[in-house]
Amino acid sequence: MYNLPKMFNEYDEARQKGFIKVKDYKEQGRKIVGTFCTYTPKEIIEAAGAISVSLCGTSEEPIQDAERDLPRNLCPLIKSSYGFAITDKCPYFYFSDLIVGETTCDGKKKMYELLGKLKSMYVMQLPQNNKDEESLNLWKKEVIKLKERLESEFGADITIEKLKQAIKLVNEERRAKEEFYGLGKLCPPPMTGLEMQKVLYGSQFKMDIRESIENLRELTDKIKKEYESGKTNASKDAPRILITGCPIGGASEKVIKSIEDNGGVVVCYENCGGVKATYTKVDEEKDPIDAIAEKYLSIPCSVMSPNEDRLNLISEIIHEYKIDGVVEVILQACHTYNIESYSVKKFVTEEKNTPYISIETDYSQNDMGQIGIRVGTFIEMM
Ligand code: BJ8
């Protein structure tokens, strides 16, 4: 078992600690909005005076319960999210006044229909071509509809001024995250990929955005100071790995462990918990609704078609983080990432001349040995 240095403990325990916090918010009469995806416009929730929480969905534990209602050959993230909800094992779901989802992949949107029978649920219709003017207009209307739903459900008055303040605040949080994970550009990196992941994952459960910004900046400063005094857990000779693909966290951290046990070091995450969610900001000068709609629709998730922006982002990361190899994590039965991996592999190996491997996995730990052998051979090649 890898022992995290003390300064990362707070993030390692953030999900559990958040359980008490969300209960406190509820007792104070605050409204709680549960979310599943990076496409949810957090600024609208913040401007409504509500608390936005990430719902649990990264553990194998509730999957058996989920399979009573859902097919077995479904993405583990969807089954886990649903299983947590029906078993009341996710306190964030339990305390939520409203759940917001988006029509991203087929599995998620159909699962939301079932969740809607358990809780108040609002599903935003997400267009799947983010280069098209009509899609943007449609998405703007969806953002307005979410604003109206929050106003009517919570009796909130979401003014332009409140939206502008929320945009500034959430942008600041994005910058704080970037400053943190941007430390991975240093050679050698000042932390291991597992340490970085604990912070990125844990920060999703920091519900007070101001506190989250402060904590991230404090941690970044601490890491910088330790690094300047010569301390790092990462070796300077370790091949530098970029992780891309499906969201990673909880059970799927086994891939990170396997990379680092085999001598590599993860220096960047392109996934939703990392660069993909934060590299673009909401334009603070534009009309707030237009700016929010533009930012969120531009997220290069594989549910978009075409999705060239993801390749451009990977290209930038390979250059900026001096990447030696790309590991794509695909959750079983995730068709969009699985099919897109063909283009990602071609692009990374042929155009960027960088080694690439894809790992298809679920939330069980049964394939640890097999992943270890494949990852070990991949890293040895570098
Ligand atoms: S913006 S990555 S959080 S949709 S892995 S459930 S796509 S079958 S999670 Fe995602 Fe939003 Fe995109 Fe990010 Fe479906 Fe694939 Fe499962 Fe997925």
Residues 208 and 113 in one domain: no
Ligand 1 centroid distance, CA of 253 (Å): 16
Residues 338, 330 contacting (CB under 8 angstroms): yes
Phi and psi for 203 in degrees, rounded to 5?
A: -65, -20
Ligand 1 centroid distance, CA of 236 (Å): 33
Residues 148 and 192 in one domain: no
Residue where one domain finishes, among candidates 113, 130, 161: 161
The CATH code of the domain that includes 40 is 3.40.50.11890
Whether 75 is in a domain gets the answer yes
Minimal-distance CA residue to ligand 1 atom 5: 246
Ligand 1 environment, Cβ below 6 A? 37-39, 75, 77-78, 104-105, 107-108, 246-247, 272, 299, 301, 303, 331, 334, 336-337
Which pLDDT belongs to residue 89?
Answer: 92
Whether 1 is in a domain gets the answer no
Domain count, the chain: 2
Buried residues in 136-152 as b, exposed as e (16+ CB within 10 A): beebbebbeebbebbee
Ligand 1 centroid distance, CA of 368 (Å): 23
pLDDT, tens digit (0-9, with 9 covering 90-100), for 114-127 = 999 999 999 999 99
Residue where one domain finishes, among candidates 131, 161, 191: 161
Cα 248 to Cα 39: distance, rounded to the nearest angstrom: 16
Residues 153 and 174 in one domain: no
Residue 40 domain boundaries: 6-161
Closest atom of ligand 1 to CA, residue 301: 12
Residues 131 and 247 in one domain: no
Residues 117 and 215 in one domain: no
pLDDT, tens digit (0-9, with 9 covering 90-100), for 371-382 = 999 999 999 999
Residues 201 and 76 in one domain: no
Closest atom of ligand 1 to CA, residue 302: 12
Evaluated on CA atoms 280, 283, 289, 294, the torsion sign reads negative
pLDDT, tens digit (0-9, with 9 covering 90-100), for 266-304 = 999 999 999 999 999 999 999 999 999 999 999 999 999
Ligand 1 centroid distance, CA of 27 (Å): 32
Residues 59 and 146 in one domain: yes
Minimal-distance CA residue to ligand 1 atom 3: 37
Residues 146 and 184 in one domain: no
